[in-house]
Amino acid sequence: MDTILRGRISLQLKISASYIALLVTVLVLMNTYPLLVSEDLVFRSKHTALQSSAAAINASVTGLDALTEENTAAAMAAAELEGISRAIITDPYGKVLYDTREAGNATGYYVFYTELVEALRGNNAVYCVYKEGAFHSSAAQPVLYRNQIIGGVYVYEYDTQQASLLGTLSGNLFSISVGIAALMLVVSLVFSRQLTQRLGALQTAIRGVREGAYNQRARLSGHDEFTQIAGEFNDLVDRLQETESARRQFVSDASHELKTPLASIRLLTDSILQTENMDNATAREFVSDIGQEAERLSRITEDLLQLTRLDSGAAEPPTLVEVEPVLERVTRMLRPVAQEKEVAVYVSCGPGAVIAATEGEVYQILYNLAENAVKYNRREGYIRIRAETGEETTVVTVEDNGIGIPDEDLRNVFKRFYRVDKARSRAAGGTGLGLSIVSDTVSRRGGAIRAESIPAGGTRFLVTMPCRLLEEDV
């Protein structure tokens, strides 16, 4: 449980961390890009506005052949100084002749602001920076008289209004971001928690099944991938449960089947040992019975081994086996039993009938079906075996006019150790595994088998097998 919890927390953390990383990236962009663009727009606007203001002041003193404190003050008396915080006019050396600053007026002093120095060297200069909650903008232009620099104009603007707007924008963006972040955090936590809870439910079910609780199911609502995985898991567990039940049933049946002849053998040997002066005929009869039971044990063991081999899934590559020679061998092998039970065997095989399997498998299918038909036939009955090859498949039909199989038993006849009439089956020497071996063999080669009752009496088994080799088998 601790591992599951750690895994869930880890996944939840990872999902949350991914969301948060994405969110932080978006929010950082959201909080920087618009501000940078706005700041840049303000800078451009300031550049233009300050240059215009400097040009306007420059125009006020244009025409003067030399600048003095008196003539600049007179010229500036009528000048419009709207939109700027400070205006300075200097001589060509940087000595201030006019300054609008009220406190700390620089008139009479030398000032060497970089933009002003640039202007006094003959170039227009402009600079704008945003710091400490204000836009600081400055622009400077040279004052010329007959192409000679006779002074410089320097204007400065300290703007807290636009800075305040930018600050408000920044604050709003931040508030929105915090809101979005909080919302997204909650959503991502809820979402990741939901996700991990669903995963946790699946993990709990898997763990339960691993510990043997085959009745455990993952119950997830919704239609997402997790629900699909849960559905697949439940199907898998269904099959596992069926297989496990079949295995238990099989072990139980096999134990029972093996126990029966062993019990007979023990009984017979006890009888021989405990009966004094047993006559030879009786003793021979008992020993003969013991031999028959041993033979039955051997058959059961062989069939079980055969089924185990089939279950293991390992199969030789198929070849195209001609059905006719195999049928001939089967009828030859069954002839003594058939003659003993006075059962006639009829065989018909279509031209070129082949089955894609191994020869041993084809023999096993045909022999088991035919032997079954003979064993459970009535005296003077018949069996008929036919094989026909079509485009893709070969259909083998084995039918008899025997005692037949009740409809309710038809669907179970391929189950292991299933017998329609147990006493009769044992009497006939059946192990209850013959048809299971046939069914497993047919399935393993991609074929199908079914049993049906013949209305006039008797049973028909239809086997459909592939008659072509697949590309991977070639």
Partner 1 sequence: MKNRWGLLLAALLLLALAASGAPSMDGEEQGEDCLLYFLASESKARGNDQIKSHMERLDVAEDAPLKELARAVVRRLLDGSEEAGLRSPLPDGVELLGLEILDRRAYVDFSSGVNRLSGVDLALADYCLTLSLTGLDGISAVSVTAQGRALGQQPKQVFYERDVLLSTMDDVVQAVEVTLYFLNSSNALTGERRVIELYEGQTLAENLVAALLEGPQNRELSRVLPEDFQVNFVRMENGVCYVNIPASSLETLPEDEEQQRMMLWSLADSLYSIGSVEELRLLADGEELTAFGMIPVESVASRPQG
Q: What are the residues binding partner 1 (CB under 8 A)? A: 84-86, 91-96, 101-104, 106, 109-115, 117-118, 120-121, 127, 129, 131, 134, 136, 138, 149, 152, 156-158, 160
Residue 33: how many CB atoms within 10 A of its CB? Answer: 11
Q: Where are the alpha helices (DSSP H) in 148-213?
A: 161-210
Q: How far is the CB of 68 from partner 1 (least distance, A)?
A: 12
Q: How far is the CB of 93 from partner 1 (least distance, A)?
A: 4
**Cβ proximity of 307 and 439 under 8 Å:** no
Q: Which residues contact 435 (CB under 8 A, 6 or more apart)?
A: 368, 369, 372, 413, 414
Q: How far is the CB of 54 from partner 1 (least distance, A)?
A: 15
Nearer Cβ to partner 1 (109/346): 109
Nearer Cβ to partner 1 (48/282): 48
User: Residue 7 has which token pair?
Assistant: 């895994």
Element (DSSP H or E) covering residue 441:
helix 434-444
Distances (CA, A) of 411 to 25, 42, 225, 366, 417: 64, 87, 36, 20, 14
Distances (CA, A) of 198 to 5, 11, 15, 212, 224: 12, 12, 14, 21, 11
Q: SS3 for 241?
A: helix
Closest of 20, 39, 43 to residue 31, by C-alpha: 39
Nearer Cβ to partner 1 (156/250): 156
Nearer Cβ to partner 1 (33/93): 93
Nearer Cβ to partner 1 (115/371): 115
Q: How far is the CB of 160 from partner 1 (least distance, A)?
A: 7
Nearer Cβ to partner 1 (116/166): 116
Nearer Cβ to partner 1 (127/233): 127
Q: SS3 for 280?
A: helix
Nearer Cβ to partner 1 (102/211): 102
User: Residue 306 has which token pair?
Assistant: 């055969």
Q: How far is the CB of 166 from partner 1 (least distance, A)?
A: 17
Alpha-carbon span 301 to 295, nearest angstrom: 10
Closest of 211, 209, 229, 212 to residue 220, by C-alpha: 229
Closest of 367, 368, 380 to residue 341, by C-alpha: 380
Nearer Cβ to partner 1 (151/402): 151
Helix axes 359-375, 323-341, angle to 10 degrees: 20
Alpha carbon distance, N-terminus to C-terminus of the chain: 50
Nearer Cβ to partner 1 (84/435): 84
**Cβ proximity of 467 and 355 under 8 Å:** yes
Nearer Cβ to partner 1 (158/174): 158
Q: How far is the CB of 182 from partner 1 (least distance, A)?
A: 37
Q: Which residues contact 406 (CB under 8 A, 6 or more apart)?
A: 420
Q: How far is the CB of 92 from partner 1 (least distance, A)?
A: 5
User: Residue 86 has which token pair?
Assistant: 């400070």
Alpha-carbon span 185 to 244, nearest angstrom: 46
**Cβ proximity of 90 and 54 under 8 Å:** no
Adjacent-strand bridge partners of 138: 127, 156
Q: How far is the CB of 34 from partner 1 (least distance, A)?
A: 25
User: Residue 43 has which token pair?
Assistant: 């800078």
Nearer Cβ to partner 1 (110/346): 110
Q: How far is the CB of 124 from partner 1 (least distance, A)?
A: 13
Alpha-carbon span 282 to 424, nearest angstrom: 25
Q: How far is the CB of 52 from partner 1 (least distance, A)?
A: 17
Q: How far is the CB of 225 from partner 1 (least distance, A)?
A: 58
Q: How far is the CB of 165 from partner 1 (least distance, A)?
A: 17
**Cβ proximity of 431 and 301 under 8 Å:** no
